[in-house]
Amino acid sequence: MIDVVRAEGLTKSYGRARGVVDLDLAVVPGEVFGFLGPNGAGKSTTLRLLLDLIRPTSGRVSVFGLDVRRDGVEVRRRIGYLPGDLRLYPRLTPRELFTYVGHLRGMRGTGDAVVVSERLGLELDRPIQALSKGNRQKVGLVQALMHRPELLVLDEPTSGLDPLVQRVFYELVREATSEGRTVFLSSHVLPEVQHVADRVAVIREGRLVLLDTIDALRAHAFTRVEVTFAAVPPPAAFAGLPGVREIERRGAVVLLALEGEADALIKVLAQHTVVALDIHEADLEDVFLSLYGEAASDAA
């Protein structure tokens, strides 16, 4: 099986500035690959290297087994791309833009543009310059999806979208992968990725610091216990308790991870005045914070 995306020793430097450093990764057909990191970590640089919009300082990258420089036209024909810094023709309507993009791609008509627009709630006949940020983001999503590309490369795809539209976006991603297509989703927002990703890579300061499956990360899930006390508890109040780890402390609010029985923790809590108690299963962000410390905290 040929990897949809493969990067080997991929490095991009901007003089003294760092872009990405010695990046190795592979994306397999039919998966949603989440690419996480804080702003400035090198996510957008990586995507631009994949698309041959910029050239690497060293290393190589292939898409569909093809060299992105030598076979750039063929590679980009098979990709749908949503940039993080989306720029659109402001005087065109979405319908006019999709017609124009369809002609550029050699399509007959606009493919799935109308259907996807309807699902996202996008009005097709108002000038783009009159649309809100969220609706302009919908335009970007539609132009990336309209030709049913084999690979979707999406940079911060839900930026500006309300929660209901985000749900539709997740449905569209799942439908794409159910048809065997592949999604490379870059984001600095962990919950955005955990909804749909099969695997997650975390980049920090241009370097890959974590690569694992969502299922493997969730296997480490624990019970998240957030306690608000009337007074700040002693620093070592929960030290040595079986199955209890203190994750974070914000004044009188203490966040704990609980694995196993809660009896010992409850007995310690009973020694203090508890104002509020919130208990639920950890989400992926909590798992990152617990397992990977500072690197995961920055990425999340």
Mean pLDDT of 82-94: 95
How many domains are contained in the chain?
A: 2
Among 19-33, 63-77, 187-201, 257-271, whose mean pLDDT is lowest?
187-201
* 241 and 181, same domain (yes or no): no
> Is the domain of 270 the same as that of 246?
yes
Q: What is the pLDDT at residue 280?
A: 80
Q: Model confidence at 215, in pLDDT bands (50, 70, 90)?
A: confident
Q: Where residue 300 falls among pLDDT bands split at 50, 70, 90?
A: very low
Whether residue 286 lies inside any domain: the answer is no
Full strand arrangement of the beta sheet holding 223-229: 244-250, 253-258, 223-229, 274-281
In angstroms, the CA 238 to CA 234 distance is: 9
Q: Do 179 and 31 share a structural domain? A: yes
Tell me the per-residue pLDDT of 14-56, one tens digit each, with 9 for 90 and over.
887 778 999 999 999 999 999 988 788 899 999 999 999 999 9
Report the share of the chain in percent with pLDDT over 70.
92
Distance, in Å, from the CA atom of 210 to the CA atom of 271, rounded to the nearest integer, reads: 39
pLDDT, average across residues 178-194: 87
Q: Which domain holds residue 98?
A: 5-215
Predicted pLDDT of residue 296:
46
pLDDT digits (tens, 9 = 90+) for 238-297: 998 998 988 889 999 999 988 888 899 999 999 999 999 999 876 666 666 655 554 444
Residues 61 and 136 in one domain: yes
Is the pLDDT at 118 greater than 90, yes or no? yes
Q: How are beta strands 182-187 and 151-155 bridged, if at all?
A: parallel
Calpha distance 284→191 (Å, rounded): 7
Q: 165-175, pLDDT tens digit by residue?
A: 999 999 999 99
**Within a domain: residue 297?**
no
In a domain, residue 58? The reply is: yes
Q: How far apart are CA 60 and CA 122, in angstroms?
A: 39
Identify whether residues 207 and 234 lie together within a single domain: no
The single-letter DSSP state of residue 128 is G
Instruction: Please check whether residue 296 lies inside any domain of the structure.
Output: no
CATH number of domain containing 243: 3.30.70
Cα dihedral 2, 64, 150, 209, rounded to 10, equals 80
- Are 121 and 150 found together in one domain? yes
Residue 23 CA to residue 242 CA, distance in Å, equals 39
Closest CA to 29 of 267, 270, 199, 269: 199
Query: Which segments of the chain does DSSP mark as H helices, in order?
Result: 43-50, 72-77, 94-104, 113-120, 133-145, 163-178, 190-194, 214-218, 263-269, 284-299
Residues 246, 98: one domain? no
Question: Which residues, including other chains, have CB under 8 Å from residue 83's CB and lie 6 or more apart?
Answer: 44, 47, 140, 155
* 245 and 170 housed in the same domain: no
- Of 47, 36, 43, 24, nearest to 200 by C-alpha is 36
Edge-to-edge strands, sheet with 199-204: 79-82, 151-155, 182-187, 32-36, 199-204, 207-213
Q: Write down the pLDDT at residue 295.
A: 47
Same domain, 37 and 178: yes
Indicate the average pLDDT of the chain: 90
